[in-house]
Amino acid sequence: MNEVVVLTPERILEVTEDVLRRFGLAKATVVDVARALDVSHGSVYRHFPSKASLREAVAKRWLARVSAPLDEISEDKGPAPARLERWLRTLCFAKQKKVSEDPEMFMTYMTLAREACSVVKAYKEGLVDQIAAIISDGVKEGAFDVADVKASARAIYEATIRYQHPAHADEWKDPDLAVRFDALLALLLRGLEARKR
């Protein structure tokens, strides 16, 4: 039996998520994490230079999990407009599902993300790049007509903020949410669309 499990960053992150779930963001301490790992808290500092960096790593892992299904869609084949719509729906739906399934944990991750703003910035840039890739495909297909792919991608990203940014999570309970989101998507896709001539 492999009774003594080695202390790895990955294992620390897993246990940290667990501690965050059980104690909540405000109460979870490095000492709690160390206790759950059955090591001294000094050992945790061997792998993460500070509590802030540990939290940042947790935020990064969470964001990566949220955006994982999007990578596939952006690299898929098929008509760009439908693909962009699917990508945006997947992103927003993933966030909305997370908040409805476990609001406390969502709030925890949201606060973590707010603290780790450099990580969030990189995450956002990654998302905009994926949108840009789909729009670029659409331009090649002749389905889209845009002056500046990157700028359009950013505009699309920003226009959907209300449906994916945690700051607006309390408005996602609206029963008309889906209808409103459909209207927004239709407007945005129409804005990218190449005009018949």
Partner DNA sequence: TGACTGACAGATATTGAAATCTGTCAGCGC
Partner DNA sequence: GCGCTGACAGATTTCAATATCTGTCAGTCA
Contact residues toward a second copy (CB under 8 A) are 148, 151-152, 154-156, 158-163, 165, 167-168, 179-180, 183-184, 186-192, 195-196
For tokens 């997370």, the residue is 98
Rounded Cα distance between 7 and 24, Å, is: 23
Please report how close the Cβ of residue 57 comes to DNA at its closest, in angstroms.
Answer: 13
Amino acid identity, position 74? S
Rounded Cα distance between 138 and 82, Å, is: 10
Angle at 111 (CA atoms; ends 108, 115), nearest 5 degrees: 140
Residues touching DNA: how many (CB under 7 A)? 20
Q: What is the dihedral of CA 117, 118, 123, 127, to 10 degrees?
A: 90
- Identify the residue among 52, 68, 151, 183 touching DNA (CB under 7 A): 52
What residue 77 binds from a second copy, DNA, none (CB within 5 to 8 A, per partner kind)?
none
Instruction: Pick out residues in 12-31 that bind DNA (CB under 7 A).
Output: 26-27, 29-31
Binding residues vs DNA (CB under 7 A): 6-7, 26-27, 29-32, 38-43, 45-46, 49-52
